[in-house]
Amino acid sequence: MKYISIHNNQTINTKDIPVLGYQDFLEENISLLKDHTEKHCVNFFAINEQPQIKLFCCIADDDTHKIFINSSTINVGDKVSSLTNHNHNFEKFEREIHENFGIDYIDHPWLKPMRFAHNRANKKQGIADYPFFQADSEELHEVGVGPIHAGIIEPGHYRFICNGEQILHLEIQLGYQHRGIEQLMLKKTKLLERATIVENIAGDTAIGHSTAFSNLWESLCEYETDDFLHYSRTIALELERIAIHTGDLGGVCADIAYQLGNSVYGRLRTPIVNFFQEWGGNRLAKGLIRPGKINYPFTKDLAKRLIELFEAYERDFNEMSKKFFSLPSTLARMERTGIVTIEQAFEIGAVGMVARTCGINRDIRLSHPNNLYGQTILHEPIVKHHGDVYSRVRLRREEILQSISYCKKLLENIPNFKKPTITDFKSGKEKFTLSLVEGWRGEICHCAITDGDGNLKTYKIKDPSHHNWMALAQAVRNNEISDFPICNKSFNLSYCGHDL
């Protein structure tokens, strides 16, 4: 058997995952993706089992709702061929494995440090020595932006190679901040500590990452999740999508100097995040989602308040959007700016909004449904085909309205709240669990492996930004450098979600 197939949030025995010879492992995972646009790599990571390194690869099939998992072992210091040389879906995964474990891929086309994590194998190479791509030409010049930016943007460095104002190449260097999230998940043993850690992976995706962790942990502990918990997580995910998409529309308006749109969309975001404050005491919904319970049950009074909020929101949102999406001056800045082709999106394994604006129907709510998706919510992904800033902005507008309709449907029937009776959460021994959630940016993946005592041995996190930073680098090619801000904001990728 070349792989074992599981479904989202399914726990299996680690020993049931096939261990292949490395060449078979390489060929099998390459073949799973070859000419199969419905499949992509959701996670690929390594763990240290001295004197060997064990690799795990997880390939999702969006048509069958299955996830194919296999593994391989290699010796520390071995030189091996890379999967990336055959398929660029694996590019960042293998760069991380190389950086953290010292695996020498002999034919990887872009084998550079990815994060400069504190636990990297080669600490002699510092972030100041990052090997940027260079073009030796008297006609071209380089422009460096960051890592310190104006405003509140997090640290990251952009190195442009330009011909006059035209961008020919962009290399994005991250790795300026780390909290050691994955190591903290092993170090901290209390469930509340771990729940607090995951909701801080990316501050604008507290619900997305907390839901992935909670779903995973309940599966790992064989806990039957109550309908009320599924309900709370589903409505919270859609509210988080509405809030962040609305704020991003305002950000795009700011980058093209459309002050009215920036002001109105910014104001409209406020009542959504304030509703999280009413519901659970925090505007970013921290503390709301917890494994096995919810400290702030959703009530009929909250439902009434949310209906009133939507009524006021939709009126102003639709009026503002009608203006924004009809002005020739705003359309001129967005249409055919920052294009990512469908071929590029497939090659880099793009997920979430980036994939869907390039004509790829990739959405976990449909392909690997969790919580109430696939049941109460029969999700139909919104897909655009031009891959430009305009597509990314239109997708946000339409997903906001879609999410409001989903919330209204959920409000029609609020499950009865049951106080949890669980007294102890015990994870299974030598188990493997994988959880996928469609956050507002796209696909979130959490993987956990336990040891013989049931303790966490590995906790692997993947934010959608992991895939999509390369899409931004492709999008700006042949654009004017003055268009970079709007391109960047139209993606709104996460620095901390990448660096962990």
Judged by DSSP in three states, 52 sits in strand
Residue 418: its pLDDT value, please?
81
pLDDT digits (tens, 9 = 90+) for 95-129: 999 999 999 999 999 999 998 888 888 888 888 88
The owner of tokens 């763990």 is 47
**pTM for the predicted model, two decimal places:** 0.96
Residue spans of beta strands (DSSP E) within 124-194: 141-145, 157-163, 166-173
Instruction: Give the residue-averaged pLDDT of 6-22.
Output: 97
Pairwise CA distance, residues 328 & 354, whole Å: 24
Name the amino acid, one letter, at 305. Answer: R
C-beta atoms surrounding 68 within 10 Å: 20
Structure tokens at 332: 């001129």
pLDDT digits (tens, 9 = 90+) for 245-279: 999 999 999 999 999 999 999 999 999 999 999 99
Residue 444: phi and psi, rounded to 5, are: -105, 135
Residue 129: its pLDDT value, please?
87
CATH architecture under which domain 4-105 falls: 2-Layer Sandwich (3.30)
Q: Where are the domains of the chain?
A: 4-105, 202-460
412: which residues sit within 8 A by CB, 6+ positions away?
A: none
Residue spans of beta strands (DSSP E) within 7-156: 11-13, 19-20, 39-49, 52-61, 66-75, 79-80, 104-105, 141-145
Pairwise CA distance, residues 387 & 366, whole Å: 21
Instruction: Give the residue-averaged pLDDT of 301-313.
Output: 97
Select from 498, 445, 451 the least CA-distant residue to 67: 445
Burial code (b: 16+ CB inside 10 Å, e: under 16) for 390-415 equals bbbbbbbbebbebbbebbeebbeebb
Residue 372: its pLDDT value, please?
97
Sign of CA dihedral 202, 204, 206, 208: negative
pLDDT digits (tens, 9 = 90+) for 155-177: 999 999 999 999 999 999 999 98
pLDDT digits (tens, 9 = 90+) for 372-403: 999 999 999 999 999 999 999 999 999 999 99
Select from 167, 163, 168, 476 the least CA-distant residue to 337: 476
23: which residues sit within 8 A by CB, 6+ positions away?
A: 81
Beta strand 11-13 with 52-61 is unpaired
DSSP letters of 405-437?
Answer: HHHHHHHTSPPPP---------PPTTEEEEEEE
pLDDT digits (tens, 9 = 90+) for 188-240: 999 999 999 999 999 999 999 999 999 999 999 999 999 999 999 999 999 99
- Return the top range by mean pLDDT from 101-105, 140-144, 174-178, 404-408: 404-408
Whether residue 449 is predicted with pLDDT greater than 90 in this model: the reply is yes
Q: Is residue 61 a contact partner of residue 39, using CB atoms and an 8 Å limit? A: yes
C-beta atoms surrounding 288 within 10 Å: 24
Pairwise CA distance, residues 382 & 375, whole Å: 19
**What percentage of the chain reaches a pLDDT higher than 70?**
99
Residue 412: its pLDDT value, please?
95
Q: Is residue 218 a contact partner of residue 230, using CB atoms and an 8 Å limit? A: no
Q: Is residue 471 a contact partner of residue 340, using CB atoms and an 8 Å limit? A: yes
C-beta atoms surrounding 134 within 10 Å: 12
Residue 51: its pLDDT value, please?
86
Res. 423 pLDDT band, cuts 50 70 90: low
Name the amino acid, one letter, at 490. Answer: S
Name the amino acid, one letter, at 294. Answer: I
Residue 298: phi and psi, rounded to 5, are: -80, 125
Sign of CA dihedral 245, 246, 247, 252: positive
Residue 307: phi and psi, rounded to 5, are: -60, -45
CATH 1.10.645.10 fits 202-460, yes or no: yes
219: which residues sit within 8 A by CB, 6+ positions away?
A: 9, 10, 11, 433, 435
Instruction: Give the residue-averaged pLDDT of 180-185.
Output: 95
Judged by DSSP in three states, 75 sits in strand
How are the residues of the chain apportioned to helix, strand and coil, as percentages rounded to the nearest 5? 45, 20, 40
In angstroms, how far apart are the furthest CA atoms of the chain? 71
Whether residue 152 is predicted with pLDDT greater than 80 in this model: the reply is no
**Angstrom distances, CA of residue 218 to CA of 230, 406, 428:** 12, 25, 11
C-beta atoms surrounding 63 within 10 Å: 11
Residue 422: its pLDDT value, please?
66
| Structural element, H or E, at residue 462 | strand 456-462
The owner of tokens 């070349």 is 2
User: Residues, the chain, total?
Assistant: 500
